[in-house]
Chains A and B, each alone.
Chain A
């Protein structure tokens, strides 16, 4: 899922300076799981802002709603009318959600980001999330025992490890595991160390054209047959 982190409170407050009627818009998917922008976090941030605005007597009001996903038009459409009632919408979805909500509202309302979107990751333990994929668009996990060299190696080496690893740790940051040692250990367990013998050519970093777009094969445009059936003539 997408992992994000709440921006510092002062920064958020500053962003809201010019607006009086504010809505905190939570997202109930990725960012809810990583405890950054779900219903609960939206509630906390809203309460915090309400108290802060009461303390500085600015007379601003803050309300909150959370929708299931801000990266899906149908969920935004459901609350579109309601969103129209506010001066500004502080979205605590990932950057995708903020942009997509803004796109649906099409310049009728300002969207402000409450989170810093950080990486694609997994839950290592409650409250801890770890990065695992850089969305390179050309996955090589089959060759590396399911450990991503692009992400887990600090230098994204395709034929590692480099000479800098020491006792399984990376030279870029000694507290970090060397990605290629992880790959070696995993392949050893899988009895597939052979895979390390094949040299991997340069990685195609052009596999993703940014900003990229994917159209499912079943949704490819089709030519609409307008002609009458010929055999009738």
Chain B
């Protein structure tokens, strides 16, 4: 599951598509107005629903359209890692990335990196019936 700022990562994902870059198809993208909009509750809920990994992607540091939204997101991601650790889930399942709208390759690399990382950790113990439950 990924939470992407519309100004950067979301556009970068678009670009990756137009460039026909290959990346694992297992990522679900949620578009945010700014990465700073991400909430610890969104992150925890994704894990509760059984997602194996979550990443938040915002603009490059210093380039957030709302000035500090991405730094805020970083703080909340760090805090959410602690919340995961509390309950015994690997905090590595969660990460924050920064990129610009022009970085289609970086987006594809990010998805690949997270997929690799999670493959090593194995499926989330919270996954229901071996399949991730996606609520419509």
CA distance A40 to B83 in the complex (A): 14
**Cβ of B86: which chain A residues have Cβ within 8 Å of it?**
9-10, 48, 52
Interface residue from B40, B41, B125 paired with A55 (Cβ < 8 Å): B125
Bin chain A's interface residue count.
10 to 19
Cβ contacts B22-64/A at 8 Å (1 or 0 each): 0000000000000000001100110110000000000000000
B88 at the interface (CB under 8 A from A): yes
Please judge, given known A-B contacts A51-B47, A51-B126, A55-B125, whether A44 and B87 are in contact too, CB under 8 Å: no
Q: A43-B41, A55-B125 are in contact. Are A48 and B88 (CB under 8 A)?
A: no
Minimum CB distance partner of A49 in chain B = B87
B40 surroundings in chain A (CB, below 8 A):
44
Produce 1/0 per residue, A14-55, CB < 8 A to B.
000000000000000000000000001001100110111011
Chain A residue at minimal CB-CB distance from B47: A51
Contact (Cβ within 8 A) A52 B88: yes
CA distance A48 to B45 in the complex (A): 9
Contact flags (1/0) for A50-63 with B, using CB distance below 8 Å? 11101100000000
B interface size (C-beta, 8 A)? 13
Asked if B103 is at the interface (CB within 8 A of a chain A CB), the reply is no
B94 to chain A, nearest CB (A): 13
Contact call B41/A50, Cβ cutoff below 8 A: no
Check A51 against B89 for contact (C-beta < 8 Å): yes
Which has the most chain B C-beta neighbours within 10 Å: A43, A47, A50, A52? A47
Residues of chain B lying within 8 A (CB to CB) of residue A44: 40-41, 44, 83
Whole-angstrom distance between the Cβ of B8 and the nearest chain A Cβ: 24
> Are B41 and A48 neighbours in the complex by a CB distance under 8 Å?
no
| Chain A contacts for B48, CB-based, 8 A | 47, 50-51
Closest to B87 in A: A52
CA distance A10 to B87 in the complex (A): 8
Given A44-B44, A47-B41, the answer on whether A55 and B83 have CB atoms closer than 8 Å is no
**A56 CA / B100 CA spacing, docked (Å):** 41
- For B41, list chain A residues within 8 Å (CB): 40, 43-44, 47
A197 to B125, CA, bound (A): 69
B83 in complex: contacting residue of A10, A48, A54, CB < 8 Å: A48
A52 to B86, CA, bound (A): 9
Task: Give chain B residues whose Cβ lies under 8 Å from the Cβ of A55.
Answer: 87-89, 125-126
* B44, B45, B88, B125: most-surrounded residue (chain A CB, <10 A): B44
Could you list 20 examples of A-B contacts with CB < 8 Å?
A9-B87, A43-B41, A44-B40, A44-B41, A44-B44, A44-B83, A47-B41, A47-B48, A48-B44, A48-B86, A48-B87, A50-B48, A51-B47, A51-B48, A51-B87, A51-B126, A52-B86, A52-B87, A52-B88, A55-B88
